[in-house]
Structure 1
Amino acid sequence: MKAIIIDDEKHVRDGLLLLAEWERLGIQEVFEASDGEEAKSMILEQQPEIIFTDMNMPKLDGIQLLKWLKETEITSKTIVVSGYDDFHYMRNAITYGSFDYLLKPIEPDALNETLERAVNEWKKQAQKRESTKETTRVINEAKPFYWDHIFTTLISQTPPSSVLIQKVQKEYGVNINEGQCTICLLLLNCRIVKRFEEDKNLTFFTILNICNEVVRNDQSGFCFKNGNQKDEIVILLWKQKSEKTLMERIQKEIEKFTHTKAVIAIGKSSSKLVDAYHSAQKTLLKHNMVDVHKKNHILTYEDITSRPLLHLFDYAEKIKWTIQSGSIEQMDEVINEIFHKLESQHFLSFEQIQDWENQFEVLRKNWLKEYQLSEETTYYNGKDYWDEDGTFSFTKFKEEKTKEFHELIQLLNNVKYQKEKNSIQEIESFLRENYDKDFTLQEIADRFFLSREYISRKFKQQYNETITNYMTTIRIDKAKELLENPHLKVYEISFKVGYQNEKYFSKVFKKIVGMTPNEYRVKVSDH
């Protein structure tokens, strides 16, 4: 804490410095000033919590200083020290908010008792001020979310709540239930968000401030984040002026700040907020995005054109067979066919993009489920359809969607390969555990729910052997181990490794090992 002593008599300042228990009360620095004028600059610079001031001083006396402290809203605790036991001084000290009044000569006990009370009172009020400051900060931070919620409710509720209408009227001085309103929609594309290092909250905060500054200066409306749409800013206009000119100003300010043009859709004026919003939404959704740059990124309701949507569901079966083939080349042929039809018979509107993305998500979920993959599997979601200047790019849309299909076919192909690999490994493990039994290929196929042809082909690919040869190798290896036991007869070993005929066993053993079982036993025993 800090304190300042203001008195034109040095011996009074020295007395206060000596008598006050500064250290005990937590005051580390004490400054001095010889009059009120000198004190003003020191108070502003040092921000002392405690001020001792004389009343009768040259240049600027105690009464003028107290008045200045009050006008400046300085929160310090002021203790008046005066040799004049005069009601005039006392009354002014009380009027201008001094904490207490001490008469000269000062008694040490009275000084320190007053100083301690002043310190405690300042701490108490400082804590309260801090609490109030924090509460105000929280309220100010929450306020935009509060109004976002109110306006989001108003544009989606029929009829609009009279309570909310009254709140808007009280805050903005306009009854939005009377007269005509226009709604414009601004889309935050990923290029704008990238300018803010992918921080969506910062992007919304900045762009909303830019929009609101323009409409506030024009006193024409309010801009807010639509709580029901993740990338949408709503510009609500309640004054009937040139909406397009206003949107061009907003767009220009955003471009100046982000070097990117924002797409803004202007709806039809309506006396109903819900209708005004729906017309703006239709304007945004129905435009051909490839032609947006020709309209300088400002879309109007009158310019809407319409074509039927292309549905990915129509190609679901063809895509499914392509995925099962595992061929990227075949997938590219299907994708090119889809895009050719999209360009020649349809066009890329936001509505078409949303329909594509929703249907692709459904198809992807179904295929993940079919291949027994978790829905929490992470995968690429291509959303960057924009050039650096904010212009929509059909080429980039095609690249993003192709990338999604490529990732999907690779992901499902890997799962399919892993499943096939695991199935063949299970068959190999089964053969090792049951080498002493005879199983036909058909019996193995039935057990593992696979075709005989598939098992034969995949087993040979993975182990470079037919199942019959592989089983023979396992049996002969096991027979070698058993032949090391001199107490086992050859015919017993033959039965143990799955051969019912000893002579046939000996014939197979010699063919593979190059000697009969008995010759092998003699060779092993010699070692």
Structure 2
Amino acid sequence: MKLLIVDDEQIERDGLEAILRSGFPDADIRQAKNGMKAIEAVPEFKPDLILMDIKMPGISGLEAVERIREDYPDMRFIIVTAYEMFDYARKALKLGVEDFLLKPSRASEIIESVGNVIHRIVAERSEKDALLSVLEADVVTQLLFDRVHEVHLDEMLGMLGGDTTREAFVMLLTLSRAQPAEHIYGAVKEKLRTLGSGWIGAMSGRQIPLIVFREAGKSYRAQASSLAQQLLSLQQRGSDCFIGIGNPYGTLDQIRFSYQEALIASADMSQPVKFRFYSELPSWNDRRNDYQEQQLERQFLDRIRLGRWPEVRHSLMSLIQRGEDAGLSLVEAQQRALNALWLISRVLLEMGVEADNPLFAYQCPDYPQLRTETDRLLDHLMNAIAARQDRMEPDVVQRIKQYIVAHSSEEISLETIARQVDLNPFYISKMFKEQLGINYIDFLTECRIDKAKSLMGNPERSLKEITFEVGYNDPNYFSKVFKKSCGMSPTEYRKALLGSKG
């Protein structure tokens, strides 16, 4: 906790600091001798709480509070003054001051007052951390698997903070069945928080996606290798995991390509080194930078996710045919087919469908036999997803819709919905969009806007009240979303609505 004491009397500052150090020995405490020095200290020190005297030469304490709040609206203040004046107290309360202490105050009173504010700060931080954790996983999901409305994305990115204009890449951590998934997920999240270098997505099956932002002054490969080694060190003895690493991209709009590359890089987990760069892989045509070849790989991934199995089968057979036409040995052609089958199993795992890793029982003696065996292994993977679909309730999308409608005023994430219907969050996003034509955030927005419209018919309800009641925390953001959805601002809509009723 960082505390800033502002008073023009040195003896007052020192006395207050002594009291605070006895009550809060772990606090970082600094002093400022007047209001202007306090204003100058805030950007660098970023205190959690400022104890401010009112009567000081130059800028008064209340003026300093007002100016600091312009740039730091969440800053906390306690006024400490010898002047028991109603006007001062009233203005301080209007500025959002937490408490008002009169000089001289007993040490116990000061410690109690500061302690109460610190308790509120800690509670709010805990609540905010929980919200940001859910939001972070949701943002990663939207960026890697779905297209979210730009207004929503801007708001979510703003809440997460950080420099989102830097290059970024994806690392995909795949856990072994032997590992305690929740423990490893928590350890990976904590490591990423400590480094402050990226965001962690929701765990999908046994796969954890990370969006990692490039560090200045360090090469991409050095940064990725260092982080991969740190993450691998978190696993328990005897466990086994693998990390695929995609290429860096300049914008978050393109980050899903890095995810696809990380997925491809993690298809073969039998490597002696437990992380692999996409750029190290031989492509289907041995031209890793060939744009057309990369598009073929991405089309292959999309066909698997969309369940277009005849097209997936055709892609596999085309891969084998290209190998035969190029004169590849059967050993190499079989390995390439196996890599493609492993990639299918990784995508199924992403969707929450676990299947035994496909393996050829023997070295195929000729190309016709290779086609037959590849076909058989593909059928095995398709049976796994068919079995999963048979266990799913047919009305699961309707259940999701009903849950969103009933809880639209609350914070709803894909992980929240996933817990309600016991399905993988990525698979829910895909299924919801396929069946309804929109993603779940757009549907949630429709519910909130519809509810807001009905509440606007009551002239006694303020727009600010309505904003919070329908599930938004920021009236400005609500106004942006409403205008994007309805073509007019909430104020304009309400005027038109009440005017038509009149």
Normalised by the length of structure 1, the TM-score is: 0.35
The structure showing larger relative contact order (alpha-carbon pairs under 8 Å, at least 6 residues apart) is 2
Q: Radius of gyration: which is bigger?
A: 1
